Amino acid sequence: MPVKALFAAPARLWEVYASALPQAFAEAGLDVDLSRDHAPDEVDYIIFAPRGPLSDFTPYRRARAVLGLWAGVEGIVGNPTLHLPLARMVDEGLTQGMVEYVTGHTLRHHLGMDAHIAGPRGIWQPVVPPLARDRPVTVLGLGALGGACARALAGLGFAVTGWSMTAKDIPGVTCLAGMEALAAALAGAQIVVLLVPLTAQTENLMDATRLALPARGAALINPGRGALIEDAALLAALDSGQIGHATLDVFRTEPLPPDHPFWAHPRITVTPHIAAETRPLSSARVIAANIARGEAGLPLLHLVDRTKGY
């Protein structure tokens, strides 16, 4: 008898996952009946993404787990009807995309590329950047994405400090942990990358006090979550020169409204939430692996700790 999997994600995703998931199930030797229309009392696994058709999990009494397609879970983890195990997406394609975005924009700010690309023509300005080893970079968040980015930046020679809520050990990275160590992690950083999950503790993490801690003129790169930054405090820090530039990929409201001041600010680069997209083929294999584990009675991969929110 086939396993019944409900695809509970926005309709626009069905076209690609309707082929990617069956392919992954076949590769894993699974017999899975995938549909968007299974009756709740028939469903074994729910494949979920935010802003889809499902918000009330109460009828799904038979289901064994909710398997998320996104890395972030703040849109579901607090749902009072959800009592099933919840697994978030940790996918090598998503991770690689984030590493490429973060290293690209870190190198952009490190090398001062904007001055050469958009600066005045005909003016010879031989400003030589320091070597990467002399450029302090701080990565806030050392989970699957932040840890991969910290390792990549350290591999390029940057002096990387990583910070997380719980202790981590990454070769070549100075790792600090706990809210009491956050100020030390930010102090003197010339480039700051935000990759912490959004929780009650991390909302507005970068407020006026913490934006004052990096080196004057530091670059801020946020491909994590928009609400990690207090918007008004960031604008004030940019206007004062305390923050030299902010590259922002995520926002409190998306798409970013056309009249939002971030669009017009000369020291802000807006990218349209493209830092790390879930890749259907590789993420489908993660879903298949978790269903295989569930059917074998093994612990699911990437389970969310509800008490932590990630």
Domains of the chain: 3-91+278-295 (3.40.50.720), 93-270 (3.40.50.720)
Per-residue confidence at 244, pLDDT binned at 50, 70, 90? very high
Q: Are strands 218-222 and 45-48 parallel, antiparallel or unpaired?
A: unpaired
Report the residue count for the chain: 310
* Confidence (pLDDT) at 306: 86
Q: For 24-154, where are the E strands, in sequence order?
A: 32-35, 45-48, 65-68, 86-87, 136-140
* Confidence (pLDDT) at 125: 86
Active site residues per annotation: 225, 273
Query: Contact, 232 vs 260, CB < 8 A?
Result: no
Average pLDDT over residues 109-125: 92
Whether residue 119 is predicted with pLDDT greater than 90 in this model: the reply is no
* Confidence (pLDDT) at 192: 99
pTM: 0.92
Taking only the tens place, the pLDDT of each residue in 215-230 is: 999 999 999 999 999 9
Number of C-beta neighbours around residue 15 at 10 A: 10
Q: Which of 5, 8, 21 is nearest to 283 (CA)?
A: 21
Per-residue confidence at 58, pLDDT binned at 50, 70, 90? very high
